[in-house]
Amino acid sequence: MTPVKLYPPKPDKVYLFGTCLIDMFYPEAGLDAMQLLEREGIEVLFPDDQTCCGQPAYTSGYQSEARAVAAAQLGLFPEPWPIIVPSGSCGGMMRTHYPPLFAGTEQEALANEVAGRIYELTEFLVHVCHLRLDDRGPPEKVAMHTSCSARREMGLAETGPTLLASLGQVQLVEQVRAAECCGFGGTFAVRHPEVSAAMVEDKTVAIERAGAERFVTSDCGCLMNIGGRFEHQQKAVKGEHIASYLWRRTS
């Protein structure tokens, strides 16, 4: 069971950890996340030297390589400010797996301290910012996909849906496979492409049958996988990172 996290008052400053997929494929999601936070009166700092959190190597069984990549991130957040991650996958790696990854090393204390300051974006918006949204978009039916890491490692199945449900013109529809993996799973999709393709096919069918005109997720890997499958099917259902969706409808 994911331990209960005690949430602090809203801070004046935070760090943003951008993630590889946002950097390479969805930079607008990172910028929109920053704008959502700045609109709440929070100064956002983005350390330029950040790279990968180390999860691909870690989940592939390469502990020493993952530790080397993760170690390069630990010194980038020297001030005691929250570290906001617009991804449950990377957030889960940094909060849950950094402490055991660095156990018994010289960086153990620092890894534990950094892990304690990790917040997934929707978690921070709901539980720390207590975000209130003024929906300016048209009526739309939307399905939320919460990644496995956000749901199971971080215990955040409800923060994304909570934000979407607060948008007055949005009808949040429930897909029957809401708790199931989309099949991406980082290197899983590469190692087991047939299984991954079958899983994402099930996911897209469930989203479409729920009547969704759009799906929203807080993880870019899931966004890429599900959105790519819809595109391959030549279906009209579009996908969007939740940071971009919230910013677009409320700015």
Burial class (CB within 10 angstroms; exposed 0-12, middle 13-18, buried 19+) of 35: middle
* Contact in structure between 22 and 86 (CB atoms under 8 Å): yes
Query: Which of these three, 105, 127, 149, is where a domain ends?
Result: 127
- The fraction of the chain above a pLDDT of 70, given in percent, is 98
- Do 57 and 81 lie in one domain? The reply is yes
φ/ψ (deg, to 5) at 64: -65, -40
Report, as an integer, the average pLDDT of 12-20.
97
Please compute the mean of the pLDDT values over residues 122-134 and round it to a whole number.
97
Average pLDDT of the residues in 74-89: 98
**Facing residues of 118 across strands?**
83
Taking only the tens place, the pLDDT of each residue in 234-249 is 999 999 999 999 999 9
**Cα 212 to Cα 108, 134, 142, 201, 235, distances in angstroms:** 45, 21, 5, 15, 12
Considering its fold, how many domains does the chain have in total? 2
pLDDT tens per residue, range 164-200: 999 999 999 999 989 999 999 878 888 899 999 999 9
The contacts of residue 210 (CB under 8 Å, 6+ apart) are: 141, 143, 173, 174, 175, 176
Final residue before a domain boundary, out of 127, 161, 181: 127
Is the Cβ–Cβ distance between 221 and 203 less than 8 Å?
no
Say whether both 109 and 211 belong to one domain: no
Based on the fold, state whether residues 22 and 52 are members of the same structural domain: yes
243 and 194 share one domain:
yes
Domain membership flag for residue 6: no
Residues 92, 21 share a domain = yes
Q: Which structural domain, as residue segments, surrounds residue 116? A: 13-127
pTM comes to: 0.95
pLDDT value of residue 206: 97
> What pLDDT band is residue 20 in, cutting at 50, 70 and 90?
very high
- Note whether residue 7 is domain-resident: no
pLDDT band, very low/low/confident/very high, at 118 (cuts 50, 70, 90): very high
144 found inside a domain: yes
Mean per-residue pLDDT over the chain, rounded: 96
Whether residue 100 is found in the same domain as residue 23: yes
Model pLDDT for residues 157-171, shown as the tens digit of each residue: 999 999 999 999 999
Assess if residue 4 is contained within a domain. no
Q: Residue 115 maps to which CATH number?
A: 3.40.50
Same domain, 48 and 114: yes
The predicted structure's pLDDT at residue 4: 54
- pLDDT over 90 (residue 142): yes
Among 88, 103, 127, the domain boundary falls at: 127
- As a whole number, mean pLDDT of residues 11-35 equals 97
Q: Domain for residue 87, yes or no?
A: yes
Residue 95: DSSP 8-state: I
Judge whether 99 lies within some domain: yes
